[in-house]
Chains A and B, each alone.
Chain A
Amino acid sequence: MDRMSAMGSLHLAWRYIAHHRARTLLLALALGLTLALPLAVRSLMEIAQREYRARAGATPLVLGAKGSALELTLNALYFRRRGVETIQVKQMETLRASGLTKVIPIYARYHALEAPVVGTSLDYFVFRGLQLAEGRMITRLGDCVIGSRLAQQHGLHPGGTLSTSPEQVFDIAGVYPVKLRVTGVLAESHSADDEAAFVDVKTAWLIEGIAHGHDDVVKNTETSTVLERKDGNVAATNAVRMFTEVTAENIDSFHFHGDPGAYPLTAVIALPNDAKAQAILLGRYQNPSDSTLLVRPVEQMDALLASLFQAERLTLLLIATLGTAVSLIAVLVFALSFKMRKREFNTLEEIGVGRVTIVLVKLFEVLLVGVAAGWIVVAICWLVQRTGPGLVRMLLQ
């Protein structure tokens, strides 16, 4: 068997494969997917581990309402709104007053353009190391800065606006949409922050309805908005305009109702002064009768990853079984194909082609299908590597 004969075998195999490209593609797809699936699952798990542990590890403590520690962690880290309870501002102040930690409020209950709207303070951006790619930071009520991916997806830039969405379709009397002014776009951070809109926590309360702005009925001489003026009190009619957007003209009309200490927060990120302060704080929040919970996110994410690894093992077992079945089918397909082409191989034998050359033709055909399957595996793995982090974050939101 010389090199030219081997090249001839390859040529013949290639011609056969090229002639039956649809069949080859199907077979390569089946094999490629079977091989790629376990790699993709493994790759996703590694990305998940890296992603979850990095963000959780960078967040020392999270305070929130008693309940699911994992849900609290996911709200504070990934702004997941599902199943989250609230605590009050005064509980954050109690934590701050301990002198053991800095605190960053998180109020993530609402959304705009399917993205979470996160009420927080400017400290959050410093804590996460978030930089502006364009525009400027939040300076007043109704302003927001948005993550790079959110901006990219919706073509948003500083000067643009986005409206918050009602929490329920039929929530007519409840939270009404507030138009937010985009003042800045954050640089890409490859984290959940890329997909969120950040507002000052007061703006989040405005969305909640705790604060609002409307026509000034005290100074207003428009009679249609006033029902009655008596003893310095004014009873307004329903003609009073409620503002759904904060502007330079109406900002002074916005005001808060109720006890500021009772305003809600979904989580508080605590940044203890040192390890000792962290240990003291964890000890203080061990009382089962407390209405709050102080958790270490890294522990919660480790527990989540442990569950995911168990699921991964089961998934890989299923995929391995499926893969074995597909591989056996592929062997059968090749065997049947070669059997059906017996006449063709007989022809080659009759014109004098050596048996080794004929075996080589068959091997090259298998190899070429394998190479095509390999390319499919590479393409899928590349896609998983590229989209994996976003996919992993999406699963948590």
Chain B
Amino acid sequence: MLSTRDLRFAYPNGGFSLSVADFSAAEGETVGISGPSGAGKSTFLRLLSGIIRPDTGSVIISGENLAQLSAKAVRALRLRRLGLVFQDFALLDYLSVEDNILLPSRLGGTLDDQVRRQGRELADQLEIAQHWNRLCGEISQGERQRVAVARALAHSPVAVLADEPTASLDAKRSQVVMNLLTCYAKEKQAALIVVTHDNALSSQLDRVINVEEWTA
């Protein structure tokens, strides 16, 4: 489903580099990425999603090697087949909760009634349905984080990459979000890669990789 091979990446200023031994996540597998701050967890997710390109090595998603795809094709793949939850949520404040959740489908040209229904169901499960028509700039941080999670799942991606998706949530809601993500992965047979510091939540995942295991 999702794998990397001999992945090496260094930021141009030379301040940080990452070297990842072979990594893979099978269909329906849930993988946690843990490690201290600045160890490269978020960078790894960005490499996996094709937002940044590795210096060497390859990322393969559903059999497609990102290195062999054009930038345009990588974007299209990311938009339609990956679900991304960013650390800063990356929501558009002038859009409503509904518009934010449906944004990837709308701009990817795949918005239909089923996606709308799915988005609404996700909002119900994440307890943000009451804000459906409110602007994202008007809701709380915790609610924004849940909108970001709903946005990552609404278009039925084959893999979900979540960067600390529960950082702004209380314990109860963190549990709800983690349950939702893991259930999604199992039901849809999607790979789930979650960056998290929370050991309690990590215990729900199939396995956890500490980035310190990788050679930096």
Contacts and interface: CB of A to CB of B under 8 A. Distances in A.
A4 B99 contact: no
A257 B80 CA distance: 100
Given A15-B94, A19-B135, A350-B51, A8 B79 contact: no
Contacts of B72: 354-355
A15 B75 contact: no
B51 A8 contact: no
Given A8-B106, A354-B76, A347 B82 contact: no
B92 A347 contact: yes
Contact of A351 (B95, B99, B104): B104
Contact of B90 (A2, A3, A9, A351): A351
A352 B75 contact: yes
Interface string B78-120: 1110101010001110110001000110111111000000000
Contacts of B167: none
Contact of B99 (A5, A9, A15, A354): A15
B166 to A, nearest CB: 20
Given A9-B107, A11-B106, A350 B94 contact: no
A348 B107 contact: yes
Nearest to A1: B109
A118 B73 CA distance: 81
B82 to A, nearest CB: 7
A349 interface: yes
A375 interface: no
Contacts of B103: 12, 351
Contacts of B111: 4, 8
Interface in A1-46: 2-5, 8-9, 11-12, 15-16, 19-20
Contacts of A2: 109
A4 B110 contact: yes
A353 B92 contact: no
Interface string A345-378: 0011111111101000000000000000000000
B178 interface: no
B77 interface: yes
A352 B106 contact: no
A349 B94 contact: no
A2 B95 CA distance: 22
Nearest to B80: A352
B86 A5 contact: no
Contact of B107 (A8, A15, A344): A8
A353 B77 CA distance: 10
Nearest to B96: A15
Contacts of B95: 12, 15
Nearest to B151: A351
Nearest to B152: A351
Contacts of A351: 78-79, 84, 90, 103-104, 151
A9 B99 CA distance: 12
Contacts of A15: 94-95, 99
B94 A352 contact: no
A352 B82 contact: yes
A360 to B, nearest CB: 10
A16 B84 contact: no
A5 B107 CA distance: 5
Given A8-B109, A9-B107, A15-B99, A353 B75 contact: yes
B12 to A, nearest CB: 17
Contacts of A16: 94
Nearest to A358: B107
30 contacts: A2-B109, A3-B109, A4-B109, A4-B110, A5-B108, A8-B108, A9-B107, A12-B92, A12-B103, A12-B107, A15-B94, A16-B94, A347-B86, A347-B91, A347-B92, A348-B107, A349-B51, A349-B75, A350-B49, A350-B51, A350-B90, A351-B78, A352-B77, A352-B104, A352-B108, A353-B79, A353-B104, A353-B108, A354-B79, A355-B75
Q: Which 9 A-B pairs have the closest CB atoms?
A: A352-B79, A352-B78, A4-B109, A19-B94, A8-B106, A5-B109, A347-B90, A8-B107, A2-B109
Given A8-B111, A12-B106, 11 more contacts: A4-B106, A8-B106, A15-B99, A344-B92, A350-B49, A351-B84, A352-B82, A353-B107, A354-B76, A354-B79, A355-B72
Interface of A: 2-5, 8-9, 11-12, 15-16, 19-20, 344, 347-355, 357
